Every structure is written in structure tokens, then in C-alpha cells.
Amino acid sequence: MGAAAQKIDLITADVRLFPGDGVRAVQAICKTRAIPVVFITGYAEDVQDRTPTAIVVQKPVKEAELAAAVRSVLGEKREGGRCA
């Protein structure tokens, strides 16, 4: 089964992917599918400058913050989906 055929409930991505860029990777994925996204990064300001509506969890990750972010985006998914 190819990636396009898989059921994906949530994307977690960092901004700094080597080689590459997490924001651009998410934008490419979301061109074809509406998937909820949580960015987990040490560069929260970078994500917020580039995608102001993004849900961002700052590293070091606190379990409660991550859980709240996941609940938030999965709740939004039930209301129609979201991509960064």
C-alpha cells in the first residue's frame, strides 16, 4: 500500500529536518490531504512566523502540552480537518 492510500490521523513534524524543511514537507503533504498537524520544535517562533495558525509544541516537550495539542488538532479534524 502506498503512502497516499494509508489512513493518517496526525502529522508531527519538526521545523529543522536535514536535509529539508518540516514546514515545506507538511505543506506538500497537505496539498493533497487534510491532515491535522502538530509541530514539535525548538524553533517555535520560526513556525509561527511562517504558518501563524500552526499548533506548535516547544522543545523540550512537556507531556501535558503535547497531549493538549493533540486533543486540539484531533478535535478540529472532526470539524473539517486542518493542515498547516
Question: 10-78 in CATH: which number?
Answer: 3.40.50.2300
Which pLDDT band holds residue 10 (cuts at 50, 70, 90)? very high
Q: Which residue has the cell 525548538?
A: 42
pLDDT of residue 19 exceeding 90, the answer is no
Tens of pLDDT, residues 25-74? 999 988 988 899 999 999 999 899 999 999 999 999 999 999 999 999 99
What does the pLDDT read at residue 80?
46
CB 13 within 8 A of CB 20: no
What does the pLDDT read at residue 66?
96
Which pLDDT band holds residue 76 (cuts at 50, 70, 90)? low
**What are the domain boundaries of the chain?**
10-78
Beta bridge partners of 11: 37
24-56 burial, b if ≥16 CB within 10 A, otherwise e? eebeebbeeeebbbbbbbebbebbeebbeebbb
Q: Identity (one letter) of the amino acid at 5?
A: A
Q: Identity (one letter) of the amino acid at 28?
A: A
